[in-house]
Amino acid sequence: MAWSIADVARMSGVTSRTLRHYDDIGLLPPAWIGSNGHRYYEEADLLRLQQILLMRELDLGLREIQAVLDSQLDQVTALREHHQRLLAERDRLETLARTVGRTIAELEEGKDNNAMTKINRPENLFEGFEPRAEAEAEVRERYPAQWEQTQQVIETMTAEDTEQWQREVTAQMIRIAEFMVAGTPVTDPAVQAEVDAHYQDICRFWTPNACAYKGLGQTYVDDPRFRANFDKIAVGLAGYQRDAMAVYADARLS
């Protein structure tokens, strides 16, 4: 069975213009083009579109999405990973909704009773929020010199510089994920070349020695905030990156 581009647009909410753009860049070509010039899509194409939309929800760019899709060998495994991340995000948003709802109820109760507003358990105000500020404070306390050096570099970066850097970081994570999915050993020269690029990028902000670079790799695994970022690309990527960084540190930084 096949669906026209108009059918797919209606079902998915994606405009025909966007679908044609996805075809033009090779992200989602149709199964075939009819004699009338219209694009037609089959079930496999709809599943690919679903994955594209899922990764757009995770804030990946189109180039990154194409690299991830082209590197995946098992569609069921890929969908299961997306499902797990979406469930985790759903749980977080439900917690946030309860937090806000509870705060509204307590504020309204104080207003109805003409009493001074009182929050029964202040810690509940922050349930469900991701601890970004806490993570920054932790890094600043543990690595004050590196923090200061990093901040000096960041202050010189424009918004465009920051966006470009973030895209480069994501693209590099995807390239390393492709090696992981292909079963390439972390000792492979191609993998180590990517790790060298990663190390050089880190050195834009601070220069870790072998011990510090290994520690950074371990942080990617141990800290759920870092690991979640890697899991957005591929589950298990943080561990693969850590192991590759350890090999690099022993060979190049010791």
| Domain-embedded: residue 184 | yes
For residue 190, the model assigns a pLDDT of 94
Q: What is the pLDDT of residues 154-201, one digit of tens each?
A: 777 777 777 777 778 888 888 888 888 888 999 999 999 999 999 998
Is 45 found in the same domain as 144?
no
Q: Among the ranges 35-44, 48-57, 63-72, 144-153, which has the highest mean pLDDT value?
A: 35-44
| Domain-embedded: residue 105 | no
Instruction: Report CA 225 to chain centroid distance, whole Å.
Output: 11
Is residue 130 over pLDDT 90? no
Is 135 found in the same domain as 254?
yes
Is residue 221 over pLDDT 70? yes
Is 253 found in the same domain as 149?
yes
Is the torsion defined by CA of 205, 206, 210, 214 positive or negative?
negative
40 strand-pairing partners:
4, 32
Is 254 found in the same domain as 149?
yes
pTM above 0.85, yes or no: no
The enclosing domain of 176 has a CATH number of 1.10.490.50
Is 172 found in the same domain as 56?
no
| Domain-embedded: residue 82 | no
Q: How far apart are CA 193 and CA 187, in angstroms?
A: 10
| Domain-embedded: residue 14 | yes
Structural domain count of the chain: 2
Of 71, 96, 113, the residue at which a domain comes to its end is 71
| Domain-embedded: residue 186 | yes
Is residue 17 over pLDDT 80? yes
Is the torsion defined by CA of 133, 139, 142, 146 positive or negative?
negative
Is residue 22 over pLDDT 80? yes
For residue 246, the model assigns a pLDDT of 95
Residues in the chain, how many? 254
The enclosing domain of 17 has a CATH number of 1.10.1660.10
Of 55, 71, 87, the residue at which a domain comes to its end is 71
Q: How far apart are CA 216 and CA 223, in angstroms?
A: 10
Amino acid identity at 253? L
* Residue 24 near residue 44 (C-beta atoms within 8 A): no
For residue 158, the enclosing domain spans 131-254
| Domain-embedded: residue 79 | no
Q: Which of 20-24, 28-32, 52-56 has the lowest mean pLDDT?
A: 52-56
Of 71, 95, 110, the residue at which a domain comes to its end is 71
The pairing of beta strand 32-33 with beta strand 3-4: unpaired
Is residue 24 over pLDDT 80? yes
| Domain-embedded: residue 125 | no
